[in-house]
Structure 1
Amino acid sequence: MKQWILLMGLALPFFVAGQSIDDIELAKIRAGFEKDNYTTGMQNALSSNEITKLAWSRENEGLTDHYFTYRVDVSGITNQKKSGRCWLFTSLNIFRPMAAEHFNTKSFEFSENYLYFWDLFEKANLFLNNIVATADRGIDDEKVRWYFRSPVDDGGQWINFVNLANKYGLVPREAMEETFSSENTSWMTKLINRKLREQALQLRELKNAGTSDKQMEATKVDMLSTIYRMLALNLGEPPTEFNYRYKTKDAQLVAAKTFTPKSFMKEVLGEVQLSDYVMLMNDPSRPFWKHYEIENYRNVQEGENWHYVNLPNEVIKGFCIESIKNNEAMYASCDVGKQLRRDFGVLDVDNFNYEAVYDVPFGMDKKQRIQSRESGSSHGMALIAVEVDEKEQPLKWQFENSWGEQAGEKGYLTFTDEWFNEYMFRMVVHKKFVNQKVLDIYNEKATMLPPWDPMF
């Protein structure tokens, strides 16, 4: 009898923890769905229309224009097509005005394909290194599963660009044009990942069989030759040297000059040091005024991990305004899909009223959205403009996007200051616009976060 009571006591928590919906509870739920006139009309509308069209706030239309107090001098819109290379386009777009001014041209575009090739190649090397380093762990280990989940992909952010540019330099678009595979990356990356996973299993087996480090490295390099071949067939081979000539604004043809990628980067950027740019974050799910680093989140083995200072939005905005006033665009990333009216090129927290459609409240704040993975950074763009009031307080901002001229307002997206508060996450600002307090924090030892943190 005592044994039976003990078993019942042990079993009870499991029974209470998760109960099925019985007929009585289901009947209550059904009874709560009242078919009044509003509900019937909305059911008919939702079953026949796109939800966003019904949720669009008509009174919000036309309230946001595309004029600004301060705006960076930019020209031309790029297009990443069907790829996840927004971070790469955005990073390069920051320096396009500088290049156009240097060459005295109406517009200029770097080769995104060039750095994309090296990004995938370096990510492949890092993945295989990580697999060897964790070969003593079980295949179901959390970190091992994380590595196998996505050996390489299109994604990245500012520090990935820094790692690549410092190692491989930059080239103009004419030196390595886009290809079908660079603009439509899905199948190429799927097949490269298939091969990398196969190679990773082989490396784990060799490592656990006692293969020497020297032989392991030789085997890995041979595997990378296969990845290089796949990339070169899809994207073309990156140039080691090229000739570049161009026409100036006044249609003068400039004689061709021979460059290497490193010398071209030096020609265009001059004394600019990529290490002088600081990444800032607004993540209310973690303490502000702290320096964080994401474990093993980089694309180049010897490169830097992603790291940033977490700050209140009001502090970040002050730095952004100063940068724009000085004609310097910034790398920014946000949750672009939230409250986006794409055809108007406007991001506004009042664009869509889903509560009115469903008569259901949606109550999470930014911190809760991050913690529950409802919101996070999904897209990178260049921050180029701000409208301020008579007290120099921001009212609205503007992105230079990389979705082509047909998306948004001729390729640009305007967003309200309220939207900035809710859905902006990362900003990269030159250190000359950042105060000493933040720079001191940036130089402190960072708190390490796991690569599967909700924000990443």
Structure 2
Amino acid sequence: MDEKLTVTPDDLAAASADFRADRANVVAKNAVTASGIRAAARVPEAVGANAMTFDVEVRQGERCDQQHSGRCWMFASLNTMRHRIIRRYNLKTFELSQTYPLFWDKLEKCNWFLANILDTLDEPLDGRLVSYLLSDPICDGGQWDMFRSLVKKYGVVPKEAMPETACSRNTREMDKYLTRYLRGCARRLRESAEAGVSADDLLDMQREMMGDVHHFLVTCLGEPPARFEVRLRDKDDKLVLSGSFTPQEFFAEAVGMDVDDYVSLISAPTADKPFGHVYTVSRLGNVVEDGGVRYLNLPIERLKEAAVAQLQDGLPVWFGCDVDQSYLRAEGIMDTAALDVDGLFGFPVEGCLNRAERLDYGESLMTHAMVLEGVNLTADGHPTLWKVENSWGKDHGRDGFDTLSDAWFDEYVYQVVVDRRYLTDDERAAYDTEEVRVLAPWDPMGSLARVR
């Protein structure tokens, strides 16, 4: 390496002298070393602008808690569905089981993984694709399209029908041992193929492996109910729904939502993803027979307009974002003005990359899914502040809710899921007929919402 790139003693002496020469640097050092970067960069005036009052607001039941699991996308999806149940039956609160879809997602992801291993037998083990497949085959994270696939196949159940277990509340051990087993399965399949085992015999091996996976998941999460009893009473203690249901019957009766009407809109302003086109991500999905994900890429303003329209019709909005950016987690505030990191250090740190550059250079991607449940609007209908239901329990933020400034939406919201009726005719036509462009498995738009 070129010696001109070496950090010399003279360089260090000059940097040290420059730092000490500015009083602001010394004050910043004292504050950060005592309190941390975010606490020192917190802007109280901006925090004060994040009041919990909204022009448009969807009322929800009690806050849910994903605990030590990466099931945020499931909680967000179920929260949009339970809202319909609460409203339809005039309930005080209601919660759908999050353990139930967790069971089926793990099962289907294992099958998806083994199918991908069988499909890549000719790929080198140390190549980027197989290494990627092996890196995290059944993580807790997911996308709306993946949840839709689960609901269409397996339905939903009330929380009482399949309650939380030690392994659903904290998925770390379960994921660790199941991942180890799957990597062992991958080795057996690849070595068997190299030894000349027939394709039919490899499929028989895969079916046997899936039997073991089912055994593993039942041990950790319990067996999903095939049928269950329901008794729902409204706010006035009147019995409003009773009977015996399968999970699919309960979804049709209680939720009554056509999940195929809901589409994923993303906003990725990078050169490789022109707006107005439809994208999928190679090798990303869970239910093999239902395919993978499908996104329509639009400017961020269109995501906002569609989200506002759905909220105004009384329906919450699933969305995905990079939650840890410019975030005061304890206070539940996502606002680019609430943290002045660049002012603290005296040079661009957060401001050194724009939205597209953050995606291109690995600085940002979707990490967390939540639910938009309110918005403030200017006189001309432009959003200024959004109300967010998180899935970290009622003790987080303000009674389990966060706020999200519109400037933060511009920078760090990457996806919303809305009813297709909120799209323009041209957008619906593109979503339905546009030739799908395939992104690499490691593209940032293939990230899975999974923050614990």
TM range (shorter): over 0.9
Counterpart CA distance in 2 for 1:234 and 1:185 is 9
Counterpart CA distance in 1 for 2:312 and 2:443 is 35
Residue of structure 1 in register with 2:365 after alignment: 376
Do the aligned partners of 1:297 and 1:305 also contact (CA within 8 Å) in 2?
yes
Match for 1:109 among 95, 103, 117?
95
Residue of structure 2 in register with 1:436 after alignment: 425
Shift of 1:312: 0.9
Residue of structure 2 in register with 1:132 after alignment: 118
Do the aligned partners of 1:136 and 1:208 also contact (CA within 8 Å) in 2?
no
* Further displaced range: 60-69 or 444-453: 60-69
* Structure 1 residue runs of 4 or more that deviate by more than 6 Å after TM superposition: none
1:278 aligns with 2:263: yes
* Further displaced range: 37-46 or 417-426: 37-46
1:198 aligns with 2:198: no
Q: 1:235 to 1:41 in 2, by over 3 A?
A: same
Do the aligned partners of 2:91 and 2:234 also contact (CA within 8 Å) in 1?
yes
Do the aligned partners of 1:279 and 1:429 also contact (CA within 8 Å) in 2?
yes
Match for 1:453 among 428, 439, 443?
443
Residue of structure 2 in register with 1:347 after alignment: 334
Residue of structure 1 in register with 2:299 after alignment: 312
Residue of structure 2 in register with 1:287 after alignment: 274
Match for 2:387 among 398, 401, 423?
398
Q: 1:35 to 1:73 in 2, by over 3 A?
A: same
Shift of 1:221: 1.4
C-alpha offsets along residues 258-284 of structure 1, whole Å, 9 cap, x if unaligned? Answer: 1111111111233x3211111101111
Q: Equivalent residue of 2:113, what SS? A: helix
Do the aligned partners of 2:76 and 2:369 also contact (CA within 8 Å) in 1?
yes
1:73 aligns with 2:59: yes
Residue of structure 1 in register with 2:44 after alignment: 58
Q: Quick one: which amino acid aligns to residue 397 of structure 2?
A: G
Shift of 1:412: 1.2
TM-score by length of 2: 0.93
Q: Give identity over the alignment, percent.
A: 35
Q: Quick one: which amino acid aligns to residue 420 of structure 1?
A: F
Residue of structure 2 in register with 1:265 after alignment: 251
Q: Quick one: which amino acid aligns to residue 424 of structure 1?
A: V
Do the aligned partners of 1:159 and 1:304 also contact (CA within 8 Å) in 2?
no
Shift of 1:32: 4.0
Q: 1:452 to 1:255 in 2, by over 3 A?
A: closer
Counterpart CA distance in 1 for 2:311 and 2:419 is 11
Do the aligned partners of 2:282 and 2:440 also contact (CA within 8 Å) in 1?
yes
Shift of 1:256: 4.6
Q: Equivalent residue of 2:418, what SS? A: strand
* Further displaced range: 96-105 or 420-429: 96-105
| Equivalences for residues 154-303 of structure 1 within 5 A | 154-253=140-239, 256-270=242-256, 272-285=257-270, 286-303=273-290
Q: Quick one: which amino acid aligns to residue 354 of structure 1?
A: V
Do the aligned partners of 1:282 and 1:310 also contact (CA within 8 Å) in 2?
yes
Counterpart CA distance in 2 for 1:18 and 1:205 is 49
* Further displaced range: 324-333 or 15-24: 15-24
Q: Equivalent residue of 2:411, what SS? A: helix
- Structure 2 unaligned spans of 5+: 448-452
* Further displaced range: 382-391 or 195-204: 382-391
Counterpart CA distance in 1 for 2:23 and 2:388 is 43
Q: Quick one: which amino acid aligns to residue 259 of structure 2?
A: L
Residue of structure 1 in register with 2:108 after alignment: 122
Residue of structure 2 in register with 1:7 after alignment: none
- Give the aligned CA root-mean-square deviation in angstroms: 1.8
Counterpart CA distance in 1 for 2:241 and 2:289 is 38
Residue of structure 1 in register with 2:405 after alignment: 416
Residue of structure 2 in register with 1:4 after alignment: none
Residue of structure 2 in register with 1:10 after alignment: none
Q: 1:59 to 1:102 in 2, by over 3 A?
A: closer
* Further displaced range: 146-155 or 393-402: 393-402
Q: Quick one: which amino acid aligns to residue 430 of structure 1?
A: D
C-alpha offsets along residues 198-239 of structure 1, whole Å, 9 cap, x if unaligned? Answer: 111011111122212221111111112222122111111111
* Structure with greater contact order relative to length (CA < 8 Å, sep ≥ 6): 2
Shift of 1:314: 1.5
* Further displaced range: 367-376 or 24-33: 24-33
Do the aligned partners of 1:323 and 1:433 also contact (CA within 8 Å) in 2?
yes
Q: Quick one: which amino acid aligns to residue 264 of structure 1?
A: F
Q: Equivalent residue of 1:61, what SS? A: helix
1:357 aligns with 2:344: yes
Residue of structure 2 in register with 1:5 after alignment: none
Q: 1:381 to 1:123 in 2, by over 3 A?
A: same
Q: Quick one: which amino acid aligns to residue 181 of structure 2?
A: K
Q: Quick one: which amino acid aligns to residue 340 of structure 1?
A: Y
Shift of 1:346: 2.1
Q: 1:18 to 1:256 in 2, by over 3 A?
A: farther
Shift of 1:23: 4.7
Q: Equivalent residue of 2:288, what SS? A: coil
C-alpha offsets along residues 131-174 of structure 1, whole Å, 9 cap, x if unaligned? Answer: 11111221111110011001111000101101111111111111
Shift of 1:255: 7.6
* Further displaced range: 27-36 or 406-415: 27-36
* Further displaced range: 119-128 or 51-60: 51-60
Q: 1:34 to 1:433 in 2, by over 3 A?
A: same
Shift of 1:299: 0.8
Q: Quick one: which amino acid aligns to residue 138 of structure 2?
A: V
TM-score by length of 1: 0.92
Do the aligned partners of 1:176 and 1:238 also contact (CA within 8 Å) in 2?
yes
1:385 aligns with 2:352: no
Counterpart CA distance in 1 for 2:138 and 2:3 is 39
Counterpart CA distance in 2 for 1:51 and 1:375 is 19
Do the aligned partners of 1:340 and 1:348 also contact (CA within 8 Å) in 2?
yes
Q: Equivalent residue of 1:302, what SS? A: helix
